[in-house]
Amino acid sequence: MQFDNSLPIYQQVVTAIKKEIAAGRITPGEKLPSCRDLALQYRINPNTAARVYQVLEADHVAETRRGTGTYVREDPSLLSVMRKEMADGYTRSYIRDMADLGYHKDEVLRYLEDWNVPESEPSDLPERT
């Protein structure tokens, strides 16, 4: 993963993991890597990896089970909550950039009308019930 070195690394890894959950690549109840393995996977300090899990726990995304490791919470609504959180984030920054360019809401909406959403990405998602 390519980091933006001017932003806190732990936040970037938290976002990356939430994105994996939102995309269905990590599922509720799944065991997450140990801090050491997370550090190796993202090329971060093991202390940063521990902090990532603290934040995910505080955000009610993960839970640590004594002696066995950290798991994604077994919560069926987690996927939709993560999707919403991610979508809010992307939309917020898009709207901010468009506002900087001087676009008003109705102009943004009209602009979006002309764009197609590619099918490939969402087709990776598990069936939504």
Partner 1 sequence: MLETKNLVKKYGGKTALNDISFPIEQGKTYLLLGPNGSGKTTWMKTAASLSKPTSGSVLWNGTPVGVESRKEISYMPTESFFYPWMIVADVGDYCTDFFEDFDLDQFRDLIRDMELPADAKVKSLSSGMNAKLRLAAAISRKARVYLLDEPLNGIDLVARDAVMKAVISVMSPDTAVVISSHLVEEVESFVSTAIFLRNGKLLEITDTEDLRTRTGKSLADRYRELMQ
6 makes contact with partner 1 (CB under 8 A)? yes
Size of residue set near partner 1 by CB under 8 A? 18
91 makes contact with partner 1 (CB under 8 A)? no
Taking the least distance from each CB to partner 1, the nearer of 52 and 82 is: 52
- Whether 72 contacts 30, CB under 8 Å: yes
68 makes contact with partner 1 (CB under 8 A)? no
CA-to-CA distance for 46 and 99, rounded, in angstroms?
39
State the minimum distance, in angstroms, from the CB of residue 39 to partner 1: 5
Among 17, 26, 32, 42, binds partner 1 (CB under 8 A): 42
Among 29, 30, 40, 84, binds partner 1 (CB under 8 A): 40
- Whether 9 contacts 44, CB under 8 Å: yes
CA-to-CA distance for 28 and 23, rounded, in angstroms?
12
CA-to-CA distance for 53 and 13, rounded, in angstroms?
10
CA-to-CA distance for 96 and 71, rounded, in angstroms?
35
CA-to-CA distance for 111 and 78, rounded, in angstroms?
32
State the minimum distance, in angstroms, from the CB of residue 53 to partner 1: 15
Q: Which of these ranges, 35-43, 58-66, 75-83, 85-93, lies near partner 1 under the rule CB under 8 A?
A: 35-43
7 makes contact with partner 1 (CB under 8 A)? yes
DSSP 58: H
Using CB under 8 A, list all residues that contact partner 1: 3, 5-10, 36, 39-40, 42-48, 51
